[in-house]
Chains A and B, each alone.
Chain A
Amino acid sequence: MLQSCMPEHTGSWLLVSQHLYSHSSLPVRTAKVVARAMAIRRPRPAATSLNGTQGVGTCDNGNGGTRAYDTDTLELDLEGQGLRPLTVSWGRRQGDRVKVGAELAQVICERLDGGGKVVRRLKAQHTGRLEEVVVPDLSGLRRPGTDVGREGPEAKEPEERPLPPPRLVLGKLRYCTHPVLQSGRMCAVCGEVLSEGTGQAQEATRVFVQGGYHVSVSRTEAAFLHRSMAQKLRRARKLNLILDIDLTLLHATIDPRAERLDHQKLEVHAFDIFNQGRILRHWCCLRPHLRTFLSQAHALYVLTIYTHGRRDYAHQVARLLDPDRTLFEDRIVSRDDCPDLHGQKSLQRLFPGGIEMALILDDSPQVWQGEQSRHLLPVLPFKFYTEFEEVNRVAGLAPAPVLGSSAVPPSRPLSPPPSSPPTTTHSSPAPSGVSGKETDAEADRKEEKTPPVPPTVFGDPREDTQLEHTWRALEAVHALYYPGGGKPDTEEGDGGAGRSIIQDRGPASGNDELSVKAGKEGEGEEADEDQGVRPPQNVAGCLSFVRRQVLAGVTILFSGVLPRNVDPRRSDLGYMALSLGARIVEDFSPTVTHLVAENASTEKVFRARRQGGVWIVARTWLQLSFLHCDRKDEAGHVLPGCMSTVVPSGKKGVKETLPVSGGDGCEPSGEPQEAKEQRFDNKSDEDNERMSKRQKGAAEKMEHADGDGEDSTAEDLVAALEDELG
């Protein structure tokens, strides 16, 4: 509000006040105390603060790193307008608070062509405080002999009249950049409420804060947060790992029948959650090797839980997995924290400055969109309670309906204290021998009902090895990102493993370890060059690099698994194959090493059988290799009906021509193979029994892609082979 624009007031307006505290609501004494205190606290003079109190917001040091305030030079652009400024009359004093758009000063200008006087107004571009008010000396620009009475000697001297400066600098305005907004509206630094449409409010990204609060940060602030986080991570030689709960780490149900189910070796916990006036008992069946996995991953990764479940649920699970609060601390994001995402997940709010140091572990890839999908390490959904109601389904996002009115069997006491984590651990199948068999029988019936035609990647949940494979992949990615080795206090092996991956990668033809070493010496230049290019800067690059090792050198032909008019490279299976480093061909050629087929009666299959040396595998082989990030043993996934032709010629030929990288995590043979072998011995009797009981043929058994399924197929293979030969 300009109080007056009258020319006769001009003189007094030019007076620049040195008064610094214009905020009336602060008593003078307080202000003085503040000023004194601040003189100690910071070197910056008290004049620079907003709204009368001290030092608000300039954090150049550790706790801020970003500047909350910025200074704008107030200037009037007169370029090319044919104007010459005559007088400047300020409407505000130094130290005044001004709002955006407010009129600060008037500049009376004269047209150079003699067309009279024009008033130009200076307006505030930001809401802030006038830090400096300048009244430029315009006398040198005056034409000699003009009406204004200043006829000094210097006024007469410039006959040729110096040109007016194109920009008239009039002062400085200090304003808040609104680096952090609470609830997306109010600046947390200056307290100004921004209207919804304001650029700053729109630009700001929402960030999760623990405890269900959310704030929005500006781009610069986000970048700063990101930098400090990245620094912290690098110092600890860690990466971020985002973990989904349901079907990734465990399988939960609220079906009370879970109580009587025989969980055998699996670890099961129960806890109560109070929801809408009801107590719901949840049973959580942990994925095999989960605890080992978490403690291993904790050494190399900063773990965060991100679930579509409710907050209570997420925290209960976290307490279950992490009673000491060392693994996740407070890094738990639940559905309640992001109600507006509609079933999607976004890391934007966790890492506003970028996600290049984060990996994601989730069983449903579709919830991660865009760039984030490159950071995703999909896992096989872990389903134990296959027939029960699922908790926290992604699709509807609705709380799972309660089965029956009383969710808890009356015989049980309702409330074991939910605070004590391992409430009930079903270590032994004590009372449930019968019911367990019942459910087994049920499961069998279900299996029989569903036609075995599409082989599934789901094996026996008890034999699930996903987390072991995932851990190997994570380890490899970490080793690739931090080539010097893992955390200093972990074993030395990490670093070596990381290097070996980089080197083993080798040329596309694929080598075993010897030839890589030879190559390193022989074509050292190339290797160096490779290394120079190789180590990718972000985690997504590392991940895809690790993945590409898995099927490097493999050439895949699809037969009957894809619709005819679909480009195999754009299909799901094609994506898997390509991301694992395999080559895809569309027609049969001698280079084909693997034929992924749906049934044994296609032309391509016949050709492959005639030619020999080609693995004819079911799609589960590719899917599992992708999910486990590990080249699965083809023998376990040979297409039913093709095994006899493949094994004799195929196994040798393939083994000779195919590369088997020596790095950890990408190596199908070796330790896991041995483990399988052992398990095979232990389980063969049991398997045989079950086999005979179910009276299933070898082909049907194929659908067990994992665990003991694999073993038994191997057994079948041997049997079939013997039959053929003998």
Chain B
Amino acid sequence: MFYLKTLEKDFMLEPKDLGPGLKETIKRRLTQMMEGTLEPDLGFVIALVGLDDQHIRPGRIEYETGQVEVWVKFTVMLFRPFRNEILDAQVTTVTDMGFFADAGPVQGIYVNKHQMPQDYGFDAQDNVWRTSDMEVEIRPGCGVRMRVVGVDITPGRMNVVGSIMDDYTGLISGETD
């Protein structure tokens, strides 16, 4: 799920950044610093969407290093799967233990074989999961819709497990490269 959140942060500005257009520089630096990172408990920062000038407080020069500490308050768009959310993802790896899929920055969403309907069977020859009526094949590159069963955020990594047991979940598109 994508959502907006307002964050506050103290961050350090190097002396070389000081000069005319300071607020623009701060915005640029903040964007560079934040976008694409994984915030603990919040999820991946997709984009910096709002930073008002009034939310940048005057900085303070640190005596030791000469860097400027600036307090800012800004709004970011975040992405984080939640439990029971329905999520679309692309399969990357198929093994006999289940399969792994990516959804944007969230990589390696694991769908265990226990979380797949019973009529799926693993075909070791072609390395695909296939239903008993041979109609559905899950192979690397195809799109699946899953329900998120659990999310665990550790420093630098977000682990997600999913399930395609539910109705209307499972394969939604064939291989797309």
Q: Does B115 contact A (CB under 8 A)?
A: yes
Chain A nearest CB: distance from B124 CB in Å? 7
- The verdict on B118 contacting chain A, using a C-beta distance below 8 Å, is yes
Residues of B within 8 A of A199 (CB): none
Chain A residues numbered 221-260 whose CB sits less than 8 Å from any CB in chain B: 225, 228, 232
Residues of B within 8 A of A61 (CB): 118
Chain B 148-166 interface residues, beta-carbon cutoff 8 Å to A: 148-152, 154, 157, 159, 161, 163, 165-166
Q: How far is the CB of B26 from chain A (nearest CB, A)?
A: 30
Between A68, A211, A225, the greatest number of chain B beta carbons within 10 A of the residue's beta carbon is seen for A211
- Contact partners of B167 in chain A: CB under 8 A: 30, 33-34, 37
Residues of A within 8 A of B92 (CB): 211
A228 to B95, CA, bound (A): 14
B98 at the interface (CB under 8 A from A): yes
Cβ-defined contact, A211 with B152, below 8 A: no
In the bound complex, residues from chain B placing their C-beta under 8 Å from that of A34 are: 166-167
Do A42 and B118 touch across chains, with their CB atoms under 8 A apart? yes
A25 in contact (CB, < 8 A): yes
B74 at the interface (CB under 8 A from A): no
Q: Which residues 17-47 of A have a CB within 8 angstroms of B?
A: 23, 25-26, 30, 33-34, 37, 41-42
Q: Is B143 an interface residue (CB 8 A)?
A: no
A191 within 8 A of B: yes
Task: Check if B165 sits within 8 Å of A180, measured CB to CB.
Answer: no
User: A353 to chain B: closest CB distance in Å?
Assistant: 13
The answer, among B84, B112, B149, for a CB contact under 8 Å with A26, is B84
User: Which residues of chain A are within 8 angstroms of B112 by Cβ–Cβ distance?
Assistant: 180, 188-189
Q: Which residues of B contact A193 (CB under 8 A)?
A: 150, 152
A54→B93 CA distance, assembly (Å)? 25
Q: Which residue of B lies closest to A49 (CB)?
A: B165
Say if the beta carbon of A450 comes within 8 Å of chain B: no
Which residues in B have their C-beta under 8 angstroms from that of A64? Answer: 113-114, 118
- Contact of A189 with B97 at beta-carbon distance under 8 Å, contacts A53-B163, A183-B157, A213-B108 already known: no
Hey, which chain A residues are within 8 Å of B149, CB to CB? 56, 188-191
- Is A41 in contact with B118, judged by CB distance below 8 angstroms? yes
**How far is B121's CA from A346's CA once the two chains are assembled, in angstroms?**
29
Query: Number of A residues whose C-beta is below 8 Å from B?
Result: 48
Answer whether residue A185 sits at the interface, using C-beta atoms and an 8 A cutoff: yes
Q: Is B44 an interface residue (CB 8 A)?
A: no
Q: Chain A contacts of B115 at CB under 8 A? A: 56-57, 188-189
Cβ of A689 under 8 Å from chain B: no
- Beyond A188-B110, A213-B100, is A183–B152 a contact (Cβ under 8 Å)? yes
Using A186-B150, A186-B152, A186-B161 as known contacts, say yes or no to A57 and B114 having CB atoms under 8 A apart. yes
B147 contacts which chain A residues (CB < 8 A)?
53
Count, A-B residue pairs, CB within 8 A: 122
Complex interface bits, B93-122 against A, C-beta within 8 A gives 1, otherwise 0: 101111010000000101111111111111
Interface residue? A407 (CB, 8 A): no
Contact of B93 among A56, A182, A213 (CB under 8 A): A213
- Cβ–Cβ contact A191 & B113, under 8 A: no
Q: Does B127 contact A (CB under 8 A)?
A: yes
In the complex, A695 has a CB within 8 A of chain B: no
B161 & A187 in contact (Cβ 8 Å cutoff): yes
The 8 Å CB contact of B110, one of A37, A192, A215, A228, is A215
Closest A residue to B85 using CB positions: A25
CB atoms of B150 and A209 under 8 A apart: no
- Is the Cβ of B163 less than 8 Å from the Cβ of A185? no
- Alpha-carbon distance between A127 and B156 when the two chains are bound, in angstroms: 28
List residues 173-232 of chain A with CB under 8 A from any CB of chain B: 179-180, 182-183, 185-193, 207, 209-211, 213, 215, 217, 225, 228, 232
Is the Cβ of A179 less than 8 Å from the Cβ of B165?
Answer: no
Interchain CB contact under 8 A, A211 and B93: yes
Q: A25-B84, A54-B165 are in contact. Are A210 and B93 (CB under 8 A)?
A: yes
Give the residues in chain A near B148, CB-CB below 8 Å: 191
A182 touching B97 in the complex, CB below 8 Å, given contacts A63-B116, A190-B150: no
Residues of A within 8 A of B129 (CB): 63
Show 9 A/B contacts (Cβ-Cβ < 8 Å), sorted by A.
A62-B121, A64-B114, A179-B114, A188-B110, A188-B161, A193-B150, A213-B100, A225-B96, A329-B127
Q: A30-B166, A191-B83, A207-B97 are in contact. List 15 more A-B contacts (CB 8 A).
A: A33-B167, A53-B84, A55-B117, A57-B114, A183-B152, A183-B159, A185-B154, A186-B150, A186-B159, A188-B150, A191-B151, A191-B161, A211-B100, A225-B96, A232-B124
Q: Which 9 A/B pairs are nearest by Cβ-Cβ distance?
A: A191-B150, A211-B93, A191-B149, A188-B112, A186-B152, A68-B114, A37-B167, A57-B114, A188-B161
